[in-house]
């Protein structure tokens, strides 16, 4: 059965992609905040990352130690091939639904 | 520059473990970034916002797990638990029995309390209702009714109370088709139903016009102007009038004349401190019997814009004014306002307090007992637990199984306890007569039993968790290798502590039971001064209409009672008969008949500083109740209205008034129905009139022929069992006059017993609880000794192989048992201190620190401990060292 991403999962994976190299939860959180202005909670990000790790969309990768983390080598997350495919599926789903749709704020009244 | 510590703590507690470390770290990083970018304050705010939102992920993570998986696990645990409980029938049965008894008793008692103490009176805003009574500090009178004249003054002068009304109970003879019957009536003043704020269900309550045809109570005059109107209770309506609405307007014949029924009270109405079923209007006059006659009850409703303190101040002012205006009857008297709610239950409260204490102790013992058993059981299952741990079960999983098992056990025990409380409730009700007014239909309160179960369950659960927790820790595998039992010192010490605690509480219960029981015995040994065996008592209340003061129909009360006693003495089984206006031991006795007395050469004592109880008797009374003359003579038929007034005094009065000389022949002044001079013709022995536990008061006996009274109680000494002849006596009275029935017929024995029934009931209940506690403590001691012996089999075997004799081994077990008891006893002595302070008030003729009771209780404990240790000691002594060496 084809599985599609949930809304927040979509956002997290995309943000992870934008971050580039393996990123931690706080990085994803800041990326979402900076790009969209949406203030998420870091624990929620991690819960989502755990869930997607179970599904195989992300994998844990040890990143390079930085001064920020007190020099410790900590857990980062990285997109897998399955994750990339899931992202593409969801993108296509919404793109096709949006095709030919005109939307204005007054619509629906 | 660190994140807020409190927020960090919150995160630490709320985050799921799998992401905790990561999140904390990330938050610290984010915090650091924001401090640099936005400043400290914004960074802290951001951190707090993240922390608060961290409460959500826990719930989310749980949803991740398949709920069905959890359900399956619980179902498995439940089945496993049931199997495991069935495999340990001894444990399971014992725990269930303890739960049933403990929870059952607790629930039953609280249910009773709910219906007595905690039940609010059925009046609107009951906290505004006050009972107004009088008190006289110098005489030690704290709670006395008042007189009609005083009541009128209170009503006129008080502004703090929206309404003040009074009532007075009276038995009323209602004429049936062939004979008269007694109905309890109450004479009430104008505002009575307004103050109580109840209206009639059918018809109406009294209005002003009804009092135009009312009675002037003090002077026993009927104003006239139409038939008396009456309001009846719901119960009477159902019983006598078949609940027909046509009762309104019906006229009933009574000794007061015809009474027209104008209203029926609703079924929920209950007059305060009264069992009246018919209410009649009464007015008082200012110049009635005198302010000294204190016999009416007063109830008042506080105005909403006044406080209790304001009312009390006002009452003080009123009583001061009355004492100054009428020093004779009112000097030294003050008015007290008792909250009705509390007054009604004051006696019950004291009695129930003792019971609650005892039950609390029992619950504690039950909880400790179960805790000890849990501890033992789960310690024994150490091997099983360690095995499961080794096979990969998490602590959480093991804990879950333990919780499920305990939930099943305690739920079952709780249900049994709930149903068990029903018969216990019945037993409690049967034992205490004053409780059963509306408690008859009481059913156990679910909330209470839930609480009791919860308390015990909590303790039991904790006790089970301790060994399970420790065993499932790092030492788990070591337990497996040690042969399945947890050999560490922890659980054993804890278990001993539980048992010592149990024994301590048991000692407290034993002492309490012992003291109460001794009080009962002491009371029974008291010589009341009369002989209540084989005495029947007929309470009479002569029909007012037919036996009024003026000689009307067959004459006055004096003629009637003279004929009655003669008639009764003619009966073959009657040895003596005599009347008195107030029976001993009757709860309704007031000190209304307390009157001043003084020697002719003295000044009359001021106020009410020296009072004696006046008794009106017919000749034959002393013989009937078994009193005897100390000197002088009894009354006889020569003491009639034409002769000088005579009096008999009791020993105490004689000794105090005439210490050096004989009282017989002396003159005495008394103030009863006017000041009069009387001559003392005899001295009679003292009696304990009010309660066996109360010493005699000075008493004055006046001959009924000279001072008649309508309501005498006739004591009849019979040659056989008085209970069997009560119907015959009733018939005999009706034979004399079919319209003059007996109000109540009972035996003097029953009255004496009734007066101390509560004390006996208390002793009985506490005694039973103490017995249960002893049993529990004994089984607990047995349990731990048996366990200890089983555990140390090897060591014992080695000892015996090395030369120790069987007796020595056995003795060492017994010594252990006695040591437990001793530790418990010492601790118990400490606990006894608050107990004794509480119980002191309920004791009679025995000090709370009675050495004998303490010694007996302690001895009982040691005996039980020794008995409990016998079987384990025997088993230990029977150990065969050779077999031990072989099998290990």
DSSP annotation of B256 reads T
The answer to whether the Cβ–Cβ distance between A43 and B30 falls below 8 Å is no
The answer to whether the Cβ–Cβ distance between B50 and A75 falls below 8 Å is no
The answer to whether the Cβ–Cβ distance between A41 and B54 falls below 8 Å is yes
pLDDT at B729: 93
Task: Render the burial of A48-76: b for 16+ CB within 10 Å, e for the rest.
Answer: bbbbbeeeebbbeeebeeeeebeeeebbb
Chain A CB within 8 Å of residue B62 CB: no
pLDDT at B213: 62
- Residue scoring higher pLDDT (B181 or B19): B19
B235-244, B252-261, B475-484: range with lowest mean pLDDT: B475-484
Is the pLDDT at B243 greater than 60? The verdict is yes
Report the gap between the CA of B29 and the closest CA in chain A (Å): 7
pLDDT at B237: 86
Among B19, B25, B49, select the one facing A47 at the smallest CB separation.
B19
Q: Which residues contact B749 (CB under 8 A, 6 or more apart)?
A: B532, B533, B535, B722
Name residue, tokens 């009046």. Answer: B123
Is the pLDDT at A66 greater than 70? The verdict is no
A87-101, B382-396, B468-482: range with lowest mean pLDDT: B468-482
Report the gap between the CA of A45 and the closest CA in chain B (Å): 9
**pLDDT band with cut points at 50, 70 and 90 for residue B554:** very low
Among A26, A50, A51, select the one facing B30 at the smallest CB separation.
A26
Report the gap between the CA of A62 and the closest CA in chain B (Å): 13
**pLDDT band with cut points at 50, 70 and 90 for residue B264:** very high
Query: Is the four-CA dihedral B276, B277, B283, B289 of positive or negative sign?
Result: negative
The answer to whether the Cβ–Cβ distance between B29 and A68 falls below 8 Å is yes
pLDDT at B491: 67
Is the pLDDT at B435 greater than 50? The verdict is no
pLDDT at B790: 77
Is the pLDDT at B70 greater than 60? The verdict is yes
Is the pLDDT at B653 greater than 60? The verdict is yes
- Residue scoring higher pLDDT (B674 or B285): B674
Residues of B in contact with A24 (CB under 8 A): 22, 25-26, 29
pLDDT at B705: 86
Share of chain B above pLDDT 90, in %: 18
CB B200 within 8 A of CB B263: yes
pLDDT at B778: 84
B186-190, B733-737, B791-795: range with lowest mean pLDDT: B791-795
Is the pLDDT at B199 greater than 80? The verdict is yes
Q: How far apart are CA B515 and CA B762, in angstroms?
A: 11
Average pLDDT of the segment spanning B780-784: 80
Max distance between CA atoms of chain B, in angstroms, equals 119
Average pLDDT of the segment spanning A55-73: 70
Average pLDDT of the segment spanning B713-741: 90
Tokens representing residue B290 in the block: 């005198």
DSSP annotation of B661 reads S
The answer to whether the Cβ–Cβ distance between A69 and B22 falls below 8 Å is no
Report the gap between the CA of B18 and the closest CA in chain A (Å): 9
Question: Nearest to residue B550, comparing CAs of B437, B688, B710?
Answer: B710
Chain A CB within 8 Å of residue B27 CB: yes
Among A42, A68, A69, select the one facing B23 at the smallest CB separation.
A42
- The region that residue B867 occupies, defined by phi over 0 for left and psi between -120 and 50 for alpha, beta otherwise, is alpha
Strands B699-703, B611-617: pairing kind: parallel
Q: How far apart are CA B709 and CA B582, in angstroms?
A: 11
The answer to whether the Cβ–Cβ distance between B22 and A29 falls below 8 Å is no
CB B775 within 8 A of CB B855: no
Q: How far apart are CA B743 and CA B734, in angstroms?
A: 11
pLDDT at B588: 54
Mean model confidence pLDDT for chain B: 81
Task: Render the burial of B852-868: b for 16+ CB within 10 Å, e for the rest.
Answer: ebbeebbebbeebbeeb
Question: Nearest to residue B595, comparing CAs of B707, B712, B698?
Answer: B698
Average pLDDT of the segment spanning B602-616: 77
SS3 of B60-117: HHHHHCCHHHHHHHHHHHHHHHHHHHHCCHHHHHHHHHHHHHHHHHHHHHHHHHHHHC
Is the pLDDT at B520 greater than 90? The verdict is no
Please name the helix (run of DSSP H) or strand (run of DSSP E) that holds residue A76, with its range, or none.
strand A75-79
Predicted complex ipTM: 0.80
Q: What is B299-329 written as a DSSP string?
A: EEEE-TTS-HHHHHHHHHHHHHHHHHH-HHH
Among A26, A50, A51, select the one facing B26 at the smallest CB separation.
A26
Query: Is the four-CA dihedral A31, A36, A42, A43 of positive or negative sign?
Result: negative
B210-219, B257-266, B739-748: range with lowest mean pLDDT: B210-219
The values of phi and psi at residue B700, to 5°, are -120, 125
B277-281, B353-357, B508-512: range with lowest mean pLDDT: B353-357
**pLDDT band with cut points at 50, 70 and 90 for residue A70:** low
Q: Following CA atoms B146, B147, B149, B151 in sequence, which dihedral angle do they give, to the nearest 10 degrees? A: 30
Q: How far apart are CA B587 and CA B278, in angstroms?
A: 22
B592-596, B739-743, B775-779: range with lowest mean pLDDT: B592-596
Question: pLDDT, tens digit, for every residue of B132-152?
Answer: 999 888 777 778 888 888 998
pLDDT at B473: 59
Q: Where are the alpha helices (DSSP H) in B526-580?
A: 557-569
**pLDDT band with cut points at 50, 70 and 90 for residue B218:** very low
Q: Chain B: residue nearest A76 by CA?
A: B22
Q: How far apart are CA B266 and CA B269, in angstroms?
A: 6
Is the pLDDT at B174 greater than 90? The verdict is no
Report the gap between the CA of B44 and the closest CA in chain A (Å): 15
Tokens representing residue B431 in the block: 């034992």
Question: pLDDT, tens digit, for every residue of B375-426?
Answer: 777 777 777 777 777 787 777 777 778 788 888 888 888 888 888 888 887 7
The answer to whether the Cβ–Cβ distance between B19 and A75 falls below 8 Å is no
Probe site for chain B from A47, A60, A66 (most B CB atoms < 10 A): A47
The pTM of the whole model exceeds 0.95: no
Residues of A in contact with B49 (CB under 8 A): 39, 41
Q: Where are the alpha helices (DSSP H) in B337-392?
A: 340-380, 382-390
Report the gap between the CA of B39 and the closest CA in chain A (Å): 17
The answer to whether the Cβ–Cβ distance between A42 and B33 falls below 8 Å is no
Report helix, strand or coil for B655: helix
Question: In A, what residues contact B, Cβ < 8 A?
Answer: 24-26, 29-30, 39, 41-44, 46-47, 50-51, 68-69, 74-75
Report helix, strand or coil for B57: helix
Interface of B with A in 372-391 (CB under 8 A): none
**pLDDT band with cut points at 50, 70 and 90 for residue B47:** very high
Tokens representing residue A43 in the block: 């624990």
- Count the alpha carbons within 13 Å of B234 in the hemisphere toward its beta carbon: 11
Distances B581 to B237, B358, B794 between C-alpha atoms, Å: 32, 41, 81
**pLDDT band with cut points at 50, 70 and 90 for residue B335:** very high
Strands B667-671, B594-598: pairing kind: antiparallel
Please name the helix (run of DSSP H) or strand (run of DSSP E) that holds residue B22, with its range, or none.
helix B17-38
Probe site for chain B from A22, A43, A66, A72 (most B CB atoms < 10 A): A43
CB B693 within 8 A of CB B520: no
């Amino acid at each position: 059965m084809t599985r599609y991403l949930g809304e927040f999962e979509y956002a997290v994976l995309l943000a992870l992609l934008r971050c580039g190299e393996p990123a931690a939860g706080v990085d994803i959180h800041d990326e979402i905040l900076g790009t969209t202005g949406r203030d998420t909670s870091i624990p929620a990000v991690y819960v989502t990352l755990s869930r997607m790790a179970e599904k195989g969309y992300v994998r844990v990768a040890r990143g390079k130690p930085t001064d920020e983390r007190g020099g410790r080598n900590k857990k980062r997350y990285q997109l897998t091939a399955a994750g990339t495919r899931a992202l593409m599926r969801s993108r296509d789903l919404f793109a096709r639904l949006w095709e030919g749709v005109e939307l204005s704020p007054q619509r629906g009244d | 520059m660190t994140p807020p510590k409190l927020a960090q703590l919150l995160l630490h507690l709320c985050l799921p473990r799998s992401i905790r470390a990561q999140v904390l770290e990330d938050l610290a990083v984010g915090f650091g970034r924001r401090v640099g970018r936005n400043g400290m304050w914004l960074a802290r705010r951001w951190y707090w916002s993240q922390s608060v939102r961290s409460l959500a992920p826990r719930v989310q993570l749980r949803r991740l797990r398949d709920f069905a998986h959890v359900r399956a696990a619980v179902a498995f645990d439940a089945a496993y638990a049931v199997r495991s409980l069935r495999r340990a029938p001894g444990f399971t049965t014992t725990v269930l029995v303890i739960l049933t008894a403990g929870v059952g008793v607790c629930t039953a008692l609280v249910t009773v309390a709910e219906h007595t103490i905690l039940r609010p009176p059925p009046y609107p805003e009951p906290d505004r209702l006050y009972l107004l009574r009088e008190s006289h500090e110098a005489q030690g009178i704290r709670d006395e009714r008042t007189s009609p004249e005083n009541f009128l003054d209170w009503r006129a002068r008080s502004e703090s109370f929206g309404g003040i009304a009074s009532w007075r109970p009276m038995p009323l003879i209602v004429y049936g088709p062939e004979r008269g019957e007694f109905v309890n009536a109450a004479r009430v003043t104008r505002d009575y139903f307004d103050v109580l704020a109840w209206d009639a269900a059918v018809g109406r309550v009294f209005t002003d016009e009804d009092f135009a045809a009312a009675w002037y109570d003090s002077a026993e005059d009927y104003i006239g102007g139409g038939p008396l109107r009456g309001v009846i209770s719901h119960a009477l309506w159902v019983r006598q009038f078949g609940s027909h609405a046509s009762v309104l307007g019906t006229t009933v014949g009574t000794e007061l004349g015809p009474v027209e029924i104008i209203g029926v009270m609703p079924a929920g109405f209950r007059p305060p401190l009264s069992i009246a079923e018919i209410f009649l209007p009464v007015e008082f006059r200012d110049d009635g019997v005198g302010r000294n006659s204190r016999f009416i009850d007063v109830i008042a409703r506080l105005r909403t814009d006044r406080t209790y303190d304001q009312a009390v101040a006002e009452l003080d002012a009123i009583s001061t004014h009355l004492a100054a205006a009428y020093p004779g009857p009112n000097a030294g008297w003050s008015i007290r306002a008792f909250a009705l709610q509390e007054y009604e239950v004051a006696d019950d409260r004291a009695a129930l307090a003792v019971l609650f204490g005892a039950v609390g102790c029992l619950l504690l013992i039950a909880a400790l007992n179960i805790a000890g058993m849990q501890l033992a059981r789960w310690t024994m299952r150490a091997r099983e637990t360690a095995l499961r741990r080794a096979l990969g079960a998490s602590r959480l999983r093991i804990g879950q199984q333990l919780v499920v098992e305990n939930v099943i056990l305690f739920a079952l025990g709780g249900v049994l306890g709930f149903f068990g409380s029903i018969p216990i409730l019945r037993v409690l009700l049967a034992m205490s007569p004053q409780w059963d007014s509306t408690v008859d239909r009481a059913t156990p309160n679910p909330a209470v039993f839930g609480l009791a179960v919860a308390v015990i369950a909590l303790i039991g659960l904790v006790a089970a968790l301790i060994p399970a927790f420790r065993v499932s820790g790092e030492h788990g595998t070591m337990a497996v290798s040690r042969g399945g039992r947890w050999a560490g010192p922890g659980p054993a010490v804890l278990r001993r502590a539980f048992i010592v605690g149990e024994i301590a509480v048991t000692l407290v219960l034993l002492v309490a039971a012992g003291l109460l029981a001794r009080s009962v015995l002491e009371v029974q040994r008291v010589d009341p001064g009369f002989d209540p065996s084989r005495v029947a008592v007929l309470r009479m209340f002569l029909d007012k209409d037919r036996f009024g003061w003026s000689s009307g129909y067959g004459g006055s009360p004096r003629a009637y009672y003279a004929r009655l006693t003669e008639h009764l003495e003619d009966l073959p089984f009657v040895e003596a008969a005599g009347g008195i206006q107030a029976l001993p031991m009757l709860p309704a006795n007031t000190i209304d008949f307390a009157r001043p007395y003084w020697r002719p050469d003295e000044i009359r004592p001021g106020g009410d500083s020296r009072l004696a109880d006046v008794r009106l008797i017919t000749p034959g009374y002393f013989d009937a109740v078994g009193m005897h003359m100390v000197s002088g003579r009894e009354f006889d038929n020569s003491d009639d209205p034409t002769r000088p007034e005579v009096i008999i005094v009791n020993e105490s009065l004689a000794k105090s008034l005439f210490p050096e000389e004989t009282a017989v022949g002396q003159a005495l002044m008394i103030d009863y129905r006017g000041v009069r001079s009387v001559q003392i013709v005899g001295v009679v022995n003292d009696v304990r009139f009010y309660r066996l536990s109360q010493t005699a008061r000075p008493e004055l006996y006046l001959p009924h022929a000279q001072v008649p009274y309508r309501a005498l109680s006739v004591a009849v000494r019979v040659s056989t069992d008085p209970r069997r002849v009560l119907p015959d006596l009733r018939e005999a009275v009706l034979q004399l006059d079919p319209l003059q029935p007996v109000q109540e017929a009972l035996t003097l024995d029953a009255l004496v017993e009734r007066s101390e029934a509560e004390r006996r009931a208390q002793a009985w209940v506490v005694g039973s609880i103490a017995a249960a506690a002893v049993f529990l403590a004994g089984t607990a001691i047995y349990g731990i000794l048996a366990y200890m012996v089983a555990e140390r089999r090897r060591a014992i075997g080695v000892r015996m192989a090395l030369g120790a004799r069987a007796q020595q081994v056995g003795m060492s077990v017994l010594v252990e048992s006695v040591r437990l008891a001793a530790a418990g006893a010492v601790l118990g002595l400490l606990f006894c201190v608050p107990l004794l302070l509480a119980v002191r008030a309920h004791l009679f003729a025995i000090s709370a620190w009675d050495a004998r009771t303490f010694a007996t209780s302690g001895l009982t404990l040691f005996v039980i401990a020794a008995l409990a240790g016998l079987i384990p000691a025997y088993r230990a002594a029977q150990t065969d060292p050779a077999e031990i060496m072989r099998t290990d």
